[in-house]
Structure 1
Amino acid sequence: MTDQPTAPPDADRLTVLFMPESAHGPTNQCIGLGKVLLDRGHRVVFAAERSWEGQLAPLGFVEALVDLAAPDPDAGDEAAGQFWIDFINETAPEFRKPTVEQLGAFIQPTYRALIDGAQYCEPQLRQIIAEHRPDVVVEDNVVSFPALVTSGAPYVRIVSCNPLEVRGPDVPPVFSGYPAGDRSGWDAFLAEFDRTHADTWASFNAWVQAQGAPPLPARDFVHTSPVANLYVYPEELDYVAARPLDATWHRMDSSVRELDEDCSLPERFRDRPADSALIYLSLGSLGGADISLLQRLVDLLATTRHRVIVSMGPRADEIRLADNMDGAAIVPQTRIIPQVDLVITHGGNNTTTEALHFGKPMVVLPLFWDQYDNAQRVHETGYGRRLSTYGFADHELLDAVEDLLGDADLRGRAARTGEAIRARDGLRRGALVIEQVGLDHRAGRG
């Protein structure tokens, strides 16, 4: 496949169906890919969760929405991804535990909730596929939806979490946050994963096969595509040397969507003193629901000479910003990050890859899921500092900020890395892989 094939003629106009997980990260990832495909003349259908209603059609996509649970007749309009905001709020105390203890307390219940959603919406997905007859189906989730695998169209898997989700004997276990250079805890972590997840996996595997799909791989809750798999991670952070991947896998070094609105900094930020840096603080659309943690970070950064842009999250009206700050519930992140000197993040895959895409060092405070793996990888590859999210001392955060801002070698290295990542144009690479899969299928080549 060439890097920049010409747009297909009308006769080759594809229908591409995306099924993203309902949180903002995976959905925005699919929106970015879908926009490239839309611009190339294809029809793009989103089988997204229903709380995204009205947000996708204005972008040019077809909304074919699904419910992941029986609608609550007493509920009002929900924010996009509200189910997971509520879920995170309820389980936030578990994030203070070591990752091995989170396996039973958080990871397994999360898988269970995702499985319940997949099982509930299976008949809806089959109807959507029958109606829209996609030429290729694309899933960005961590559990399988058998209707996608058995649709008759080629199935493409996206891994928009840390790529340790693709397991291997010589890389740390996913969700552990363990160092790549220290194997001492790996076996015990995997044993605990098996203890806490074996029954859930076995019952889901049986249900998946009962729907006509192939068996699931051991320990995995999602099918790998025999045709094409995409994952989002910069080459500079990747694990390929330790865990080689076969030819079906395609790395998108970044996936920076091109839909964010322009953003101008407040006047007082543009004219700040020479010794005042600009910092972006975000705990993500879900992590921002932990307002006690976010407020602590805000209060600490208020003691510095720097200016701070804060993504305040779903409970923005409860956050008190200081005079050296500006923010909103949702900010145009991909417009903000290029303008800042440092990113303080929870380590979600979108923010991690976007920060490196724009060449910015990071302070990473992981909360859940793959954020520990991203935090550890940023730390051990030298692009930032991992801190204990609930255990850091005030001076540790402030020292990390000053150390990273003052490290000219690191800032230069990060900037050069960002230039290289942007040149590799991962978003279009991923979209062209999806397009080629559909064209090959249409032509009988796959």
Structure 2
Amino acid sequence: MAEATRTFLFMPESAYGPTNNCIGIGHELRKRGHRVVFAAERSWEGKLAALGFEEDLVDLAPPAEASDDAAAGGEDAEQDAGAFWKDYIQAISPEFRKSTAEQLETVVLPIWEELVAGAKYCEPQLRAIIERTKPDVIIEDNVLAFPALVTAGVPFVRIVSCNPLEVPGDDIAPVFSGLAADDREGWAAFRAEYDRTHRPLWEAFDAWVQEQGAPALPELEFIHHGDANLYLYPEVLDYHAERPLPEGWHRLDSSVRETEQAPADLPESFTDGTRPLVYFSLGSLGSADVALMRRVIDALAALPVNVIVSKGPLHDEFELAENMWGAEFLPQTKLIPLADLVITHGGNNTTTEALHFGKPMILLPLFWDQYDNAQRVHETGYGLRLPTYEFTAEELRGAVTSLLADEALRARTDAAGVEIRSRNGVAAAADVIERVGVAEHV
């Protein structure tokens, strides 16, 4: 434990996964007597303070524009945590039906453009926050560089809570591709298309980053490496053999925080062991695809299983079948341990949480690194990847039936979960961050 109180400034991406990851690590640092401040996006206002943290929030777009976005979404962005990206992703979601190569221009590039615009807009705000809070260490869980964070004169810690293909290597598939580990021809074509579609934006952003006094960015990467680097991925899925990471990188097999929510009041028939229990979530963004939610629900309705459904923001636009129970928001980390199988979009947090609790998965990826997680789980044998918009009801039901009947897989996922939980990723992350803060003052 550190001998003196330090101030740790977190800046997470405005989405539930990265923010919850930082909340868990921040709680651990507070337990150790440190001051923790969040420079989160403004839609999180009040929600972090309620958990005991200081808030010094940023806007990623002008207030009028944010209000317009909220009006389009039918809700107040200041009250809906993560609304900035929920509204944006819903607008581009029709593009999710395209291949990963096609999505580079219609999904991935527009997301980077929006991220870059947000970084430029909030740069003066971040400099003011750093001046006010005077942090000893700055921690960013995001995919994009914010120059203020690396020019503050204090240690910078980067957290990767997306698939670790985000850190490139010659012997691993390119990030966002969802390509198989042995598809090197596909890798080359995808990398060429990424270069074609992204180099102009990257060059302009790199030039702006350097104008703000920050170092040049790594080739075709949008964020710097830190004084310490943490990445969130179970060892059993990791690419460490194919792409060993350099010194200064630390794997967190999981980072599962204790939720403040009370356990869900499940029907007794869901917990009495008479039927297998399936947990189904497409995340706060994917669940907004009502047609896809209905397809999965209709397919599962015919199976002799019980299904917990995380219904998401458009929960009132579809009905659950008789063998289902759900709500708009669910305490996921309390429900996954009860399940026998997880059906997920392949978001990094849900993927790592499922393995943390030793559960096999069916993955229906939509965008960004979800394809990479789905492919990695599939090729390592911890679950099955299905084509999200092409699967038939029979294929989904067959996948559920086969995974539930696979006793060898159950034993393997159980063993992986025991090992992952023993490593206590939240405490390990806090140890690394704390050591950085202590070393700065030695």
TM-score (norm 2): 0.96
Matched, 1:46 2:47: no
Q: How far is the alpha carbon of 1:260 from its aligned partner?
A: 3.9
1:176-227: per-residue Cα shift (whole Å, max 9, x none)?
00011221201110000000001100100000000000000001000111x2
1:380-422: per-residue Cα shift (whole Å, max 9, x none)?
0000000000011111100000000000000010000000000
Is the Cα contact below 8 Å between 1:20 and 1:48 reproduced in 2? yes
1:70-121: per-residue Cα shift (whole Å, max 9, x none)?
0125656321111211111111111111101100111000000001000000
Q: How far, CA to CA, are the matches of 2:149 and 2:235 in structure 1?
A: 29
Residue 215 (structure 1) aligns with: 216
SS of the residue corresponding to residue 307 of structure 2 reads strand
Q: Which runs of 4+ in 1 moved over 6 A?
A: none
The code of the aligned residue for 2:184 comes to: R
Is the Cα contact below 8 Å between 2:299 and 2:394 reproduced in 1? no
Q: How does 1:226-375 map to 2 (within 5 A)?
A: 227-263=227-263, 264-271=265-272, 273=274, 276-375=275-374
Is the Cα contact below 8 Å between 2:165 and 2:174 reproduced in 1? yes
Is the Cα contact below 8 Å between 1:260 and 1:334 reproduced in 2? no
Matched, 1:26 2:18: yes
Q: How far, CA to CA, are the matches of 1:303 and 1:136 in structure 2?
A: 53
Q: How far, CA to CA, are the matches of 2:304 and 2:244 in structure 1?
A: 45
The code of the aligned residue for 1:166 comes to: V
Residue 151 (structure 2) aligns with: 150
SS of the residue corresponding to residue 278 of structure 2 reads strand
Residue 4 (structure 1) aligns with: none
Is the Cα contact below 8 Å between 2:362 and 2:384 reproduced in 1? yes
Matched, 1:8 2:7: no
- Comparing 404-413 with 251-260, greater Cα deviation is found at 251-260
Is the Cα contact below 8 Å between 2:259 and 2:333 reproduced in 1? no
Q: How far, CA to CA, are the matches of 2:278 and 2:169 in structure 1?
A: 36
Residue 420 (structure 1) aligns with: 419
Residue 3 (structure 1) aligns with: none
Equivalenced residues, count = 432
Q: How far, CA to CA, are the matches of 1:181 and 1:429 in structure 2?
A: 33
Is the Cα contact below 8 Å between 1:103 and 1:193 reproduced in 2? yes
Is the Cα contact below 8 Å between 1:94 and 1:106 reproduced in 2? yes
Q: How does 1:385-400 map to 2 (within 5 A)?
A: 385-400=384-399
Q: How far, CA to CA, are the matches of 1:442 and 1:319 in structure 2?
A: 56
Residue 405 (structure 2) aligns with: 406
Is the Cα contact below 8 Å between 1:355 and 1:362 reproduced in 2? yes
Residue 100 (structure 1) aligns with: 101
Q: How far is the alpha carbon of 1:272 from its aligned partner?
A: 5.3
Q: Percent identity?
A: 61
1:347-372: per-residue Cα shift (whole Å, max 9, x none)?
00000000000000000000000000
Q: How far is the alpha carbon of 1:145 from its aligned partner?
A: 0.3
1:305-352: per-residue Cα shift (whole Å, max 9, x none)?
111101111111112111211111110000000000000000000000
1:255-288: per-residue Cα shift (whole Å, max 9, x none)?
0011342415321212352xx2000000001111
Structure 2, unmatched stretches of 5+, are none
SS of the residue corresponding to residue 353 of structure 2 reads helix
- Comparing 397-406 with 291-300, greater Cα deviation is found at 291-300
Matched, 1:65 2:57: yes
Q: How far, CA to CA, are the matches of 1:151 and 1:355 in structure 2?
A: 37
Q: How far is the alpha carbon of 1:299 from its aligned partner?
A: 1.4
Residue 184 (structure 1) aligns with: 185
- Comparing 373-382 with 257-266, greater Cα deviation is found at 257-266
Q: How far, CA to CA, are the matches of 1:201 and 1:355 in structure 2?
A: 34
Is the Cα contact below 8 Å between 1:346 and 1:364 reproduced in 2? yes
Q: How far, CA to CA, are the matches of 2:189 and 2:271 in structure 1?
A: 51
TM-score (norm 1): 0.95
Residue 195 (structure 1) aligns with: 196
Residue 128 (structure 2) aligns with: 127
Q: How far, CA to CA, are the matches of 1:304 and 1:146 in structure 2?
A: 52
The code of the aligned residue for 1:91 comes to: I
User: Structure 1 residues 316 and 88 mapped into 2: Cα distance closer, same or farther (>3 Å)?
Assistant: same
Q: How far, CA to CA, are the matches of 1:282 and 1:395 in structure 2?
A: 20
- Comparing 414-423 with 86-95, greater Cα deviation is found at 86-95
Q: How far, CA to CA, are the matches of 1:319 and 1:249 in structure 2?
A: 44
- Comparing 72-81 with 18-27, greater Cα deviation is found at 72-81
SS of the residue corresponding to residue 95 of structure 2 reads helix
- Comparing 67-76 with 202-211, greater Cα deviation is found at 67-76
Is the Cα contact below 8 Å between 1:260 and 1:333 reproduced in 2? no
SS of the residue corresponding to residue 217 of structure 1 reads coil
